[in-house]
Structure formats: C-alpha cells, structure tokens
Amino acid sequence: MRDRLVWNRRDFVRMAGCSLVGAMSARLAWSSTASKENKGGSPRFAYIGHAAKNGSSHEIGVFTIDGNRWKPTGAVASNQPSFLSLHTNERFLYAVNDVSRYNNLPSGAVEAYAVDSHDGSLTLLNRQPLSLSGTEPRHMAVSPDGHALVVALHGGGAYNVLPIDEDGSLGRVSGILKETGSGPDEEHQQAAHPQMVMFDRMGRLLGADMGSDRLSVFTVDDCTLSLTARSAARAGSGPRHVELHPSGNLVFVANGLDASVSCYGYDEKNGRILEQLEHVPTFKYSSGEKSAVVMAMHPSGDFLYTTHRSGGEGITVWRTNSSTGALRVIQHERDGLQSLHAMTMTPDGSSLLALSPKSGCVVRWRVDRGSGHLSQPVQVAKVPAPMSMVVKYL
C-alpha cells in the first residue's frame, strides 16, 4: 500500500541510516529511446541502482509495476551503478560503475545486461573497462541507431565511445575525446569534468562539462567522436545537466556550482548552441545553501521542475516561454521533502518521479497537465539509498 510522504524531524533522524551514499551521484531516467508506441504505454518494469540491504555493496534491483504497485522481484550485484540506460530496442540495459579503479587499474567500467521480456530479470552480458585514467563515469547515452554507447567521465575529463554488438554486449572503447580547461572554482574546477551526454533529434551529441564551464556538440560516426561546436557557459556556474526543449530550439542547463538554471538558443539543424537567453538563481527558493540543481522538463515543454541535491526543500515549478526561454515560478511544493538527488518526468507528462537517498525511497507526484502543478507526494517504492533508475514500458 502506498503511504503519503509527510515526514517530520524524528522521521528523518530515524531514516538517516539509509543515507550512507549521501555523497553518491544519483541519476534517474526514463527510456527516452523507446518506440513511439511504447512511450504511450504503461510502465512494466523499473530498474533501480541502490545500496544492498547490508550496506556493504550495491545492486540493480528489478521491480514489476502493476498500476500503483511496485514489487521487487530480483536484483543483480553491481558496483556503484550511478546511471542506468536502456538500449533503443529495450532488450538490453547498461550501467556505469562510478568507480576510480577497475581490475587494479585507474579506470571506471560499464556493464551490459540482457533484459528478459517476460519477467524483466537481468543477465550480465559483459563488463568493459573505460579508458585509462577515465574514472568516475557519471552519465551515458545510447546512440539513436543503437550501435554506440557514449560515456561522460568526471575523472580524467573525457568522453568514451564503446561499440554495441548485435547481442547487446559492449566492445572495447573505440573512441576517446579528451577535454582540457578549468574554471574559477578552485575546489571543483581544477580540470575538465564532463557530467552528462544526450542526443538531439538529429543524432548529434550534447555534452555538459562542469569543470570547464563548457557546453559542446559532437558527432558520433563509426563509433568515434568528433567536435562540432562549443559554447562557453557562465564562469563558475558548472553545467551539470541539459534538457532540450521539445521544439528543438532551446537548451536548458542545470548548473552544479551556483544553484542556477540557464537557457540557450539551439540551432538543431546545424548543431550549434547559441547565445544565453535566460539565467535564473534557484537557491532563493530554498532555505539552504547553494547546491547542485536537479531538473526535469515536462514533455509539452511548458513546464520545468527544479530542486536541489542538498540543503534545500521541495520542488519549484517554472512555466517556460518556448520563444524566449524565459522562466517564471508558478509553484513551490515543499511538503517536507529534502535532498532529492534525481528526478524525471514520465513520457506522457502525468507523473514526476524522484529518488530520495536520504529517505531510501522513490517518490511520485501527479502532474496537472494544464497547469503543471504537482499533487501531494506519495512513496511508490522503498529502496536502500537509491542512486539511479530507468523504467521499461510495455
């Protein structure tokens, strides 16, 4: 049975034992590459990267979804699965291992799993190391044709490309693009730190680099990566997360260092990030200190949702202007929620999901499709220190 989330101070203290991965990067995503038919269907399985119950290891949990019920049905061991992604055909699942060493070498790793179409269970296909000195992978994206996986590496400041075989397994790293640069924040910007990658509708790759205050557009060809264009972000902002407006003419950026959101024009046809149109602070809507912004966009493009990974309460709902990129606050939902490390919108725009490592659960809000306003939050799954999630549709 679902429980409405109304937490008091005593509840938070009681649940603090679940926060052992407070420093972990939490990531969450729907399968953005599913077919149009599947995007309109109901969710069937959810995969959540989280701490094991004993707290000494990590795993990817499998959940079956039947309406409002999320039932755990299995799990596979995985080392720091900080981001999960489904293949375009939804038959395979990939996980990045956010580690600094793999097989006694300075490298992160990526895992490939086969997804059972009947019960959603996972079978490990293989595990591949990333490039030497390419540590702490934070994000990845499967190319639209399903032939390549691109990984953003926080440590080592690079992007890696791995080929995907017909059976879903991963080949060795075939493309490496090393980044250089730094920013004014001496603690977090001593070097380049790529944080996120995503493909646009034309098949180009966008990358956000928190360490060098830079946004980039790349071309992926024959499992190699080449630079198409660059754009400088505001100094010291630390771009961490990007969302493309459905129109294709705007890019929204959640910044990891100055608690802000920026909007840039985007030339989708030529793969160019244009001038900055908007830059708004989000910390003034929070009672805490500045912290990294977590962001999700409604599929209509009319609303943007932001929160903070630490030091803040609740979610701010913004109305977007699809022509100018301007943002206007229309709701601030507090309701006792803190430290939501990741959130995403369902493809039909009916619900917003978030991971709460501190409380050890997955939270859902219903979304009013006309106003964008959020309902009261409910807990849909209890999971020890969740850090990543992806949902598979019928």
pLDDT at 233 over 70: yes
DSSP-derived 3-state class of residue 37:
helix
pLDDT at 4: 40
**pLDDT for residue 74:** 96
Pairing assessment for the beta strands 69-77 and 81-86 based on DSSP bridges: unpaired
**Residue 206 and residue 273: Cα distance in Å, rounded?**
9
- pLDDT tens for 141-150 read 999 999 999 9
pLDDT value at position 42?
A: 62
| Alpha-carbon span 265 to 278, nearest angstrom | 10
Mean pLDDT within 88-112:
96
User: Mind listing the pLDDT tens digit for each residue in 178-221?
Assistant: 999 999 999 999 999 999 999 999 999 999 999 999 999 999 99
Under a CB-based contact definition with an 8 Å cutoff, are residues 42 and 58 in contact? no
Instruction: Decide which of 347 and 184 is more confident.
Output: 184
Domains of the chain: 9-24+125-392 (2.130.10.10)
User: Which of the four pLDDT bands, split at 50, 70 and 90, describes residue 20?
Assistant: very low
| Residue 338: pLDDT band with limits 50, 70, 90 | low
pLDDT in tens, 34-46: 433 444 456 689 9
pLDDT at 69: 80
Measured CA to CA in angstroms, residue 61 lies from 3, 70, 74, 78 at distances of 21, 11, 6, 10
- Provide DSSP, 122-169: EEEEEEEE-STT-EEEEEEEE-TTSSEEEEEEEETTEEEEEEB-TTS-
Lowest average pLDDT, out of 107-111, 221-225, 297-301, goes to 221-225
Nearest-angstrom CA–CA distance, 89 and 193: 30
